[in-house]
Chain A
Amino acid sequence: MDPEAAVALARAVLVDLDPGEARAISAALQPLLARLRALPDRPAEAAPDACPREEQVLRADVPGPALPQALALAGVPSTTPEGLVRVGSFAGHDVSSRSREAGSS
């Protein structure tokens, strides 16, 4: 994985990486990726949950579950008053509409 790929992957889950971080992460992952690729290719039945699934498309413009804002925040006991103020600062068109549209596409 080269540093550019690290930046793109981080971006897919909404994490900004600077070039130094991307380079460090890229280097740190090389030996681990080699170990991963060396894992034995066992039949799926070796693990009950090992069936390959359809590849999940990562979208940088969808930060999480595409839920309406009110539903996403309902029942989240740790949402603070400050958090609600911040949520309010992002108008519905930013969080809810775009996410809903993206999620339904």
Chain B
Amino acid sequence: MTADRARIIALTAGELADAVRMGTIAAVEVARAYLAQVEASADRLAAYVRPTPEVALAEAAAVDAARARGEPLGPLAGVPYGLKDSFVTAGIATAAGSRILAGWVPPWDGAQVRRMRAAGAVLLGKLALDEFGMGAHGDLCASGHVLQDMLGRGADKPAGGTRGEGREGVAERPAGHEGARGERREDVAGGAARDGGPSGHVVEGARREDVAGGAARDGWPSGHVFKNMSGESSEAASRGGSVRPRNPWSSGHVPGGSSSGAGAAVAGRAAAVAVGSDTGGSIRVPAARCGLVGVRPTWGRVSRAGLVAFASSLDTVGPLARTVDDAARVLACLAGHDPEDSTSLRAPVTDYAALAARGRTCGLQGVTIGVDPSDLSGLEPAVAEAFAAALTTLAGAGATIVEVALPDPSLALTAYAALSAVEAVSNLARYDGVRYGLSVPKDSYTATAAATRGAGFGLEVKRRLVLGTWLQTQPELLARARAARATTTAGLQAALGRCDALASPTCAEAGVRVRGDVLEDSHGAARALADLDVDRFTVAASLAGLPAVSLPCGLTAGAPALPIGLHLVGRRLEEGRLLAIAAAFEAATPWRARLLAGPEGA
């Protein structure tokens, strides 16, 4: 790496924008440095599914030209960013991590990319994600390969008669990028050290039974307790071909999902910031796993026009960044009413960066933080220690810590699983092999749609579609799920009536080991529940539509050092206050400097 590139990627987004605005560095120079970084880190991170170097250089040149003409520059002038591949981009293929959208090139830009461009940001490329945002780890980013992984098949075996015929009849393949990136993907999966077992949560027989049976866990997916969790080599690793972003802090651990590419890219210095989406925790979990700041805004605060929908009453759009200030700057550009999204809010957007700066300098005097002690059982010891230290830091900065009683998180998790699945059935009905992407032609519309959807959706998506379809025949259970959501919402609102924010860890475990195949159905069942439970601390805010942020609060002591996230939930439309609290915490901890140095900065 050249000294110039190292110097550029060490700057925060705010520093980059200031430098471009002052003319001390050209936007094109910044873009070239980051594009070199994207290329150099591609094998290691696998964060991008579609780099867009031509777009990046053109947008950067436009920023430089505007400056040369004396025009005012946007708040993110020259800041290189990555965009989750669930946001549509005109002329750039958008697949949302799914085979069913392979080759689809949207004819229009979503609100997110338009707002980032208007702010002067420079698009480096599209980032990997779990299929349609349905994943907690970032390991469901490819379709066919993952499906075979989950079924324990060899990659060269047909997946069944209908599907085999379907593959032969695929009308559209990924245009250009798939072939070009295919070799690289094989290198990524085949060349990396995959020391994880069949599942990041359950590795050996006895322990699988523990998890499946719901018994108390005596080990953690991060591997900090069990040093030799598995000696099995992953067949999937040797097969290669799937897109699974890596955690820059540890190639043996997942980056978190579903905005997995976003987490990997920003933490790995392959983007200054990223734009992701969060349904049940898809910004906050990867932010926690990768040592970043991730913001889920109030539902409706940021337009979803152009977001490939998963569960519309839960989907939100927000930033992943290295610092609270960077996250605040990006959120300020994304937020605001959009007539193209009927759910977007008309409330004025506050100056989030200014509020964060005030929090950084003024501390937390007069701020009350609520914590539910009963909610903290079953934490990995490293997480428990980091969270306790975080509370001490918050109190040291002037905050008052009070105990609150929150609704049972299992209620929220179950309600989330049910309601998101039902909404997914509706949102994914449009992928029928006619209008978008993959098509498996048959002699009728019905047969074409069924074959296309059978071949195009991954197993996790199908699982949720089956669940959602079944629930539509169970109005009593759906009513219970909606009631559980209402209970969760009321509980959070009541707690926030007497405090400014609620604090918890973002995740109960410090990390999840990279998984290989799931070998048996019973283990798949345990995995489905374990994956759902990753969102234990994040789904309540999602159900309630409240803003939340995850920010780093420490690293595990063992090797590899893994970041741990602090989760803060705020009142509706009080993202500014939440970011002020986060900035005050960030300024009071030693972790900002360590995490700013990045995974290789130890």
User: What residues make up the interface of A, taking CB atoms closer than 8 Å to B?
Assistant: 1, 5-6, 9-21, 23-32, 35-44, 46-56, 58, 60-61, 63-64, 73, 76-80, 82-83, 86-87, 89-90, 94-95
Least CB distance from B343 to A in Å reads 15
Verify A77–B107 contact, CB threshold 8 A: yes
Q: Which residues of B contact A56 (CB under 8 A)?
A: 472-473
How far, in Å, is B311 (CB) from chain A's closest CB?
Answer: 15
Given known contacts A23-B521, A39-B480, A52-B476, A90 and B159 CB-to-CB distance under 8 angstroms: no
- A78 / chain B contacts, CB cutoff of 8 Å: 88, 106-108, 435-436
Asked if B481 contacts A31 (CB within 8 A), the reply is no
Q: Are A52 and B481 in contact (CB under 8 A)?
A: no
Which of B133-141, B388-396, B482-490 forms contacts with chain A? B482-490
The verdict on B529 contacting chain A, using a C-beta distance below 8 Å, is yes
Whole-angstrom distance between the Cβ of A80 and the nearest chain B Cβ: 7
Identify B445's interface contact among A28, A37, A38, A90, CB under 8 A. Answer: A90
B177: interface (CB < 8 Å): no
* A41: nearest chain-B partner, CB-CB: B480
B485 partner residues in chain A, CB cutoff 8 A: 47
Known: A32-B528, A61-B446. A86 touches B434 (CB 8 A): yes
Query: Is the beta-carbon distance between B470 and A21 smaller than 8 angstroms?
Result: no
Q: Decide: A63 and B473 in contact? CB cutoff 8 A.
A: no
Q: Are B482 and A16 in contact (CB under 8 A)?
A: no
Q: Would you list the 4 A-B pairs with minimal beta carbon distance, nearest first?
A: A16-B454, A27-B521, A18-B160, A47-B486
Decide if A25 touches B466 in the complex (CB within 8 Å): yes
Which residue of the partner chain, among B414, B453, B469, B532, contacts A16 with CB atoms under 8 Å? B453
Q: Is there an interface contact between B479 and A52, defined as CB atoms closer than 8 Å?
A: yes
B503 CB-CB contact with A under 8 Å? no
Tell me, in angstroms, the Cα distance from A30 to B413 when the chains sit together: 16
- Partner of B160 from the list A5, A14, A20 (CB cut-off 8 Å) is A20
Query: Chain B residues with Cβ under 8 A from A53's Cβ?
Result: 475
Find chain B residues with CB under 8 A from A41 CB: 480
CA distance A32 to B172 in the complex (A): 36
Q: Is B477 an interface residue (CB 8 A)?
A: yes
Which interface residue of A41, A43, A63, A64 has the most chain B CB atoms within 10 A? Answer: A63
Whether the Cβ atoms of A25 and B459 lie closer than 8 Å is yes
Q: Which among B425, B477, B522 is the interface contact of A37 at CB below 8 angstroms? A: B477
A21–B459 touching, CB < 8 Å: yes
Instruction: Give Cα A53–Cα B482 distance, bound, in whole angstroms.
Output: 13
Q: Write out the residue numbers on chain A whose beta carbons fall within 8 Å of the beta carbon of B483.
A: 39-40, 42-44, 46-47, 50
User: How does the 8 Å CB contact mask read for B447-466 relative to A, with 1 for contact and 0 for none?
Assistant: 01111011101010011011
> Known interface pairs A9-B466, A25-B462. Does A49 touch B433 (Cβ–Cβ under 8 Å)?
no
Given contacts A16-B451, A20-B151, A32-B532, contact A42 B466 (CB under 8 A): no
Q: How far is the CA of A12 from the CA of B453 in the complex (A)?
A: 12
Interface contact A94-B444, CB-CB below 8 Å: yes
In the complex, chain A residues whose CB is within 8 Å of the CB of B465: 10, 13, 15
Which of B434, B454, B455, B462 meets A90, CB within 8 Å?
A: B434
Cβ-based interface call for B342 (8 A): no
Report the Cα distance A52→B417, complex, angstroms. 19
> Would you mind naming 12 contact pairs between A and B with Cβ atoms under 8 Å apart?
A12-B469, A16-B451, A18-B161, A18-B162, A20-B160, A29-B528, A32-B532, A42-B480, A53-B475, A64-B429, A64-B432, A90-B434
| Chain B residues with CB under 8 A of A29 | 463, 466-467, 525, 528
Q: Which of B104, B151, B528 has the most CB of A within 10 A?
A: B528
Report Cα–Cα, A58/B88, bound state, in Å.
Answer: 31
Q: Within the complex, what minimum Cβ distance (angstroms) separates B288 from chain A?
A: 24
Give complex CA distance A61, B444 in Å: 11
User: Given A40-B480, A46-B486, A47-B486 in contact, is the A28-B432 Cβ separation under 8 Å?
Assistant: no
| Complex alpha-carbon distance, A77 and B435, angstroms | 11
B456 to chain A, nearest CB (A): 9
Interchain nearest-CB distance for A49 vs B (Å): 6
Tell me, in angstroms, the Cα distance from A21 to B521 when the chains sit together: 10
Q: Does B190 contact A (CB under 8 A)?
A: no
Known contacts A13-B429, A24-B521, A63-B449; 17 further A-B pairs (Cβ under 8 A): A15-B454, A16-B455, A17-B462, A23-B521, A29-B463, A32-B467, A36-B418, A36-B471, A40-B483, A50-B479, A50-B486, A52-B475, A53-B475, A54-B475, A63-B429, A90-B434, A90-B445
Residue of B159, B417, B480 with most chain A CB atoms under a 10 A cut-off: B480
Contacts of A43 in B (CB 8 A): 483
Which chain A residues lie closer than 8 Å to B521 at the CB level?
A: 23-24, 26-28
B436: which A residues are within 8 A, CB to CB? 78, 80, 83
Whose C-beta in chain B lies nearest to the C-beta of A65? B429
Q: Does B298 contact A (CB under 8 A)?
A: no
Complex Cα distance A25/B459, Å?
8
Contact B432–A63 (Cβ < 8 Å): yes
Which one of B414, B462, B528 contacts A39 once the chains associate, using CB atoms below 8 Å? B414
Cβ of B150 within 8 Å of any chain A Cβ, yes or no, is: yes
Q: Say whether A27 contacts B446, CB under 8 Å.
A: no
The CA of A36 and the CA of B468, in the complex, are separated in Å by 12
Contact A80:B107 (CB < 8 A) given known A23-B521, A30-B525 = yes
Residue B411 at the A interface, CB < 8 A? Answer: yes
The answer to whether A50 and B432 touch across the interface, beta carbons within 8 angstroms, is: no
Asked if residues A10 and B159 are in contact (CB atoms below 8 Å), the reply is no
Residues in B neighbouring A42, C-beta threshold 8 A: 480, 483-484, 487
Asked if residues A15 and B525 are in contact (CB atoms below 8 Å), the reply is no
CB < 8 Å: which of A31, A49, A64 contacts B529?
A31
